[in-house]
């Protein structure tokens, strides 16, 4: 991450300073932190249309692949165990939809 190296604390959290968060937001736009009860956490960036397309294709045969692709492609930093430990991975899966933000749209017919 260059100048935005994560600071590993004693309790397993990957903490970023306000300056590091600002730098990441400048680079990636919106960023997200997912925290687990056991002290693990990760930082993610919003997915691009290309990432969502790739995840959608991967998820057609295995619905967990969608989440796996999304997590890996949007990963900034965090506890690597989240990507490899099944229990931790499944725990973050429910939060991943939150990084896909869309605006409300309306259709008008004339």
Q: Which residues contact 79 (CB under 8 A, 6 or more apart)?
A: 12, 14, 40, 41, 42, 88
| CATH node for 7-98 | 3.30.2220.10
Which structure tokens are listed for 35?
A: 């925290």
Per-residue pLDDT tens over the stretch 15-28: 889 999 999 999 99
Task: Give the start-to-end residue ranges of the domains of the chain.
Answer: 7-98
Per-residue pLDDT tens over the stretch 31-58: 999 999 988 999 999 999 999 999 999 9
In terms of residues, how long is the chain?
110
pTM surpassing 0.95?
A: no
């Amino acid at each position: 991450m260059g100048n935005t190296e994560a600071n590993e604390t004693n309790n397993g959290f990957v903490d970023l300073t306000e300056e590091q968060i600002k730098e990441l937001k400048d680079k990636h736009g919106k960023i997200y932190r997912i925290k687990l009860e056991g002290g693990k956490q990760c930082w993610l960036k919003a997915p691009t249309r290309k990432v969502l397309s790739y995840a959608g294709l991967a998820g057609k045969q295995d619905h967990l692949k969608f989440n796996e692709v999304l997590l890996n492609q949007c990963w900034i930093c965090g506890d690597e165990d989240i990507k490899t430990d099944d229990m931790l991975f499944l725990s973050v899966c429910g939060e991943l939809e939150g990084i896909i933000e869309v605006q409300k749209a309306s259709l008008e017919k004339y």
